[in-house]
Amino acid sequence: MERLTWHSRCRISFLGGGIESVIGDTLHTALPEWIIVSRLLLAILLGGIIGFEREIRNRPAGLRTHILVSMAAALFTLITIEIYHEVGAAPGIAARVDPVRIVDAVTAGVAFIAAGAIIQAHGDVKGLTTGAAIWLAGAIGVACGIGFYFVATLTAIFAVIVLRVVGWGEQKWLGKDLDS
């Protein structure tokens, strides 16, 4: 049977193609389900590691925020992969699909959220590190979504090292108050 586009599926379902056809086509993914689950779970885990570090420092954007940002970025990346396979496999359609655009879109969206974590009051800027951590959680989510497990994991480990060790060094040697 010829693979149908999304529009064709909708037309067939309304023209009497049956709910079984619609459900069967809807549940089909280009990637195996276990890969989708593993990519989302890794995004949750790695976003959670960074979020936990922010949480124990009592930052406003903590565990849940970092998990959700990382998971959303992974999901948008997975959706892009699925769309790419769907449009690329559709017969007779010459579509220009650029999967790299997802990186631009996720970067812009996450940067907007990260900017919300940054506060300027009385000449002081607060939340800059948390904003950067949120942005990094989005990048890690994209890496998980595309399947770059090693890069995503290594980046999360490096992030925690930077947040903990460099933060400790700033406090000890530079006299910075990390809790203010």
Least confident segment among 12-16, 24-28, 64-68, 167-171 = 12-16
Span between the terminal Cα atoms of the chain, in Å: 64
Q: Residue 23 pLDDT > 70, yes or no? A: no
pLDDT tens, residue by residue, 130-179: 899 999 999 999 999 999 999 999 999 999 999 999 888 877 787 776 65
Give me the residue spans of the domains in the chain. Answer: 1-30, 31-173
pLDDT tens digits, 111-130: 888 888 888 777 777 888 88
Alpha helix stretches (DSSP H) within the chain: 6-14, 19-27, 33-56, 63-89, 101-116, 128-146, 149-161, 167-173
* Half-sphere exposure of residue 163: CA atoms within 13 angstroms, side-chain side: 25
Burial (CB count <10 Å: 0-12, 13-18, 19+), residue 5: middle
- CA dist 6 and 35 (Å) reads 23
